[in-house]
A and B are shown apart, each in its own frame.
Chain A
Amino acid sequence: MPAEKVFVPPDYQRPTESPPEVAAIPFRQRSAVTEPVWVRTILIVVAVGFVGLFLLLPLVFVFVQAFSMGFGEYFEQLSEPYAQSAIRLTLLVTAIAVPANLVFGIAASWAIAKFEFKGKAFLITLIDLPFSVSPVIAGLVYVLLFGAQGYFGPWLEANDIQIIFAVPGIVLATIFVTFPFVARELIPLMQEQGTGDEEAALSLGASGFKTFLFVTLPNVKWALLYGVLLCNARAMGEFGAVSVLSGRIQGFTNTMPLQIEAASKEFSRTAEVAAFSMASLLALLALVTLILKTFLEWRYADRLSSSAQAH
């Protein structure tokens, strides 16, 4: 509202600089939203206590257990054939699922942010589906589709293609659960940026592909990296959907999380170290992800979309 429209009655007097009742309060520069010291102390202690008890302690415990029989045993367990196979499988699945979702995420957010089409809102909802559906159900749906009794079962069998209880099934499950991560980072950012830069590039004679490569991609690269990071962490750690689809054959279809569970069910000291040594790898991945994520948020906050920081 323009300042000149503010009505000021002629007998209006400015309030005196510091009302006495405020000056009497002993706290220096106390603002309206600042609680008394004891309230603040309790809140902080409770928060730190919870984080320590439920997040930090288990993490520390993982490493303590992993090294409980010494470094030698730790590396011994990690080089067991089953452990090696699980690590390889997890890396393989991640190496397929993350690029797949990278491509899908870019395509979907490009379509959603830069074009108008019917059913757009529905597509956005659909992308979020894996967040709201239990991974186990997702796994079961794939079993229903591709299992021996499923819709495509007979056809797959006739053509000798194995999806369920094999690597393709695990990849499918992982792609499903990590579906939204890249797209969710890119969509709000691309929508915010609009199509102005792309139009400028096109008007300067750039082809669609060069426009994407030289203009669109650089504009979203940090958000993209952020999404890939989260996608990667989730892909390596996914348990529910994968456990339904893998069949859990040690040495063949056990990923790292499944191998951890398998080892933890054997009640022996070495099995325990086996489970926790593998868990320590995942914990390490989580830590690295966290550090990179924090770095991205700190360094490129302005170039991630505002929703990215809400994660």
Chain B
Amino acid sequence: MEIRIANVRKEFGRFPALHDVSLNIRSGELIALLGPSGSGKTTLLRLIAGLEHTTVGKIYFGDEDASQKSIQDRNVGFVFQHYALFKHLTIADNIGFGLRVRPRATRPSRKEIRRRASELLDLVQLPGLDRRLPRQLSGGQRQRVALARALAIEPRVLLLDEPFGALDAQVRRDLRRWLRELHDKTGHTTVFVTHDQEEALELADRVVVMSQGRIEQVGGADDIYDAPASPFVFSFIGESSSLPILVRDGEAFFEDERVSLPVRDCEAGPSRLFIRPHDIDVVADGGGTFSGNVTMVRRNGGGRRVELAIGSGGHRVEIEVPAEVAPAIGSTISIRPRRWRVYADAAPTGPVTTAAAMKAAEPSRAVAAE
């Protein structure tokens, strides 16, 4: 089932939780909504499900307008962050619930419901637990039961709100792989919410990065990581540092001094240079683009992290060096970015509210170096 979200706006009271969001979800796709807390991920998911209704805009399931349909008629499988299993029902009854509450004409027989429940329990790899109550299961098992319950109604779309949010890291990783396999097996169009970027990039076909009620970028892991569409995406995904620079006449200036950085394709004006710690080379003999004093050194897995204070403004930049290198605090290091992106500063407007202002803030002026 293809889902099209067309210019959706959602307000709670007068507070806009989503501004003019548009998104096309392909049939059979596994897509992640990624963003910081409060960015509107859950709101968007609940709008697709029909748990909330749009203030403006429409949501299409295939060619039909689902916005006017009730949640019951949309036929979506929703998996809640805290499972929301029915405490007083056995696992089998939980899974069969969606079938049991159907009107008599379409309701399968009791035996059929029981058979389907145990089939789904096998699918989520929990055979034989049908007699248990939810409280007799572990968190990871409950999550899988919640998924089985959602699948029982043969939904057109599967929606998951932070499905692994409440689980520990090891279980998360296992379930992640398992969900991917399940998705590939059943082929449901699946949308899941997460604020764990590793989870999103690893699991999803495409990732939707959201911030403050807007979609910042939609793309595969490579697009998001290698070609971030905005300063927000650059700093939200992976680690990064940034420096204020000025672009004038195809040259870059940092604190009024020209720096050797090819910025010919960048728009003139005050901008920000974004770099990642592992995309920075250390240059011997002070021949680099920037130089700074070491303020902190810390061991980080296979390498070492060094924090530099650059320029008179003392801008912090983190670089990664091999573990064998251990610069002394206070020593001066010269660096040269290997890969970077420059984003022109947005006009200093207040909170962007109108569509026109939004266009102005769009990060189309970003230019990247390879």
Contacts and interface: CB of A to CB of B under 8 A. Distances in A.
B72 A207 contact: yes
Interface stretch (B27-35, B56-64, B82-90, B201-209): B82-90
Contact of A199 (B51, B75, B85): B51
Nearest to B76: A203
Majority secondary structure, B binding face: loop
Contact of A218 (B71, B88, B101): B88
A202 B72 contact: yes
A285 interface: no
Contact of B49 (A203, A205, A207, A214): A203
The prevalent SS among residues of A at the interface is helix
4 closest Cβ pairs, A-B complex: A204-B98, A206-B101, A200-B84, A203-B78
B264 interface: no
Contacts of B84: 196-197, 199-200
Interface residues of B, number: 24
Interface of B: 49-51, 71-72, 75-78, 80, 82, 84-88, 97-98, 101-102, 149-150, 152-153
A218 B50 CA distance: 25
Contacts of B149: 200, 204
A15 B49 CA distance: 59
A203 B71 contact: yes
A210 interface: yes
Contact of B77 (A197, A203, A210): A203
B97 A201 contact: yes
Nearest to A208: B72
A270 interface: no
Interface residues of A, number: 16
Contacts of A200: 78, 80, 84-86, 149
A84 interface: no
A201 B101 CA distance: 9
A214 B97 contact: yes
A204 B101 contact: yes
Contacts of B152: 204
Contacts of A214: 86, 97, 101
Which of A200, A202, A206, A207 gathers most chain B CB within 10 Å? A200
Contacts of A204: 97-98, 101, 149-150, 152-153
Given A197-B84, A206-B97, A207-B72, 18 more contacts: A196-B80, A196-B82, A200-B80, A200-B84, A201-B86, A201-B97, A202-B51, A202-B71, A203-B71, A203-B77, A203-B150, A204-B98, A204-B149, A204-B152, A205-B75, A207-B101, A214-B86, A214-B97
Contacts of A201: 86, 97, 101
Given A204-B153, A205-B101, A219 B71 contact: no
A200 B161 CA distance: 12
Interface string A230-259: 000000000000000000000000000000
A215 interface: yes
A204 B95 CA distance: 10
A222 to B, nearest CB: 11
22 contacts: A196-B82, A197-B84, A197-B86, A199-B84, A200-B86, A202-B71, A203-B51, A203-B71, A203-B76, A203-B78, A203-B150, A204-B97, A204-B98, A204-B101, A204-B149, A205-B153, A206-B101, A207-B72, A207-B101, A214-B97, A215-B86, A218-B86
A203 B153 CA distance: 10
Nearest to A213: B101
A204 B146 CA distance: 11
